[in-house]
Amino acid sequence: MVYRKTDRVAARLADTRRGILDAARELVSTGGFAAVQMTEVAKKAGVATGTLYRYFSSKEALCRQVFREVSAREMGMLAEIAAGDEAASERLVKVLRTFAGRAVRGRRLSYALLAEPLDVNLAEERSFFRRTHAEIFAGILEDGIDSGELPKIDVRIAAACIAGAIPTALIGPLAPESHELDNNPDRVVEEIVKFCLAGVGVPLAASTLKNRERRKTA
> Is the confidence at residue 54, as pLDDT, over 50?
yes
Please tell me the distance from the alpha carbon of residue 218 to that of residue 206, in angstroms, as a whole number: 18
> Is the confidence at residue 2, as pLDDT, over 90?
no
Please tell me the distance from the alpha carbon of residue 135 to that of residue 142, in angstroms, as a whole number: 10
Over residues 189-218, the mean pLDDT reads 68
Q: CB atoms < 10 A from the CB of 20, how many?
A: 25
pLDDT number for residue 119: 86
Please tell me the distance from the alpha carbon of residue 84 to that of residue 87, in angstroms, as a whole number: 9
- When mean pLDDT is compared across 11-15, 71-75, 108-112, 209-213, the lowest value belongs to 209-213
Q: CB atoms < 10 A from the CB of 35, how many?
A: 16
pLDDT number for residue 9: 85
pLDDT number for residue 214: 43
CATH class for domain 1-57? mainly alpha
Residue count (the chain): 218
Note the CATH architecture for domain 67-217. Orthogonal Bundle (1.10)
Please provide the average confidence, as pLDDT, over all residues in the chain: 89
Over residues 163-181, the mean pLDDT reads 93
> Is the confidence at residue 85, as pLDDT, over 60?
yes
Over residues 38-51, the mean pLDDT reads 96
Q: Are 102 and 74 in contact (CB under 8 A)?
A: yes
> Is the confidence at residue 213, as pLDDT, over 90?
no
Closest CA to 133 of 101, 96, 177, 188: 96
Q: CB atoms < 10 A from the CB of 36, how many?
A: 21
Residues forming CATH 1.10.10.60 domain(s) in the chain: 1-57
Spatial neighbors of 49 by CB under 8 A, at least 6 apart, are 38, 39, 42
Q: In this predicted model, what pLDDT tens digit does every residue of 123-171 receive, in sequence order?
A: 889 999 999 999 999 999 999 999 999 999 999 999 999 999 999 999 9
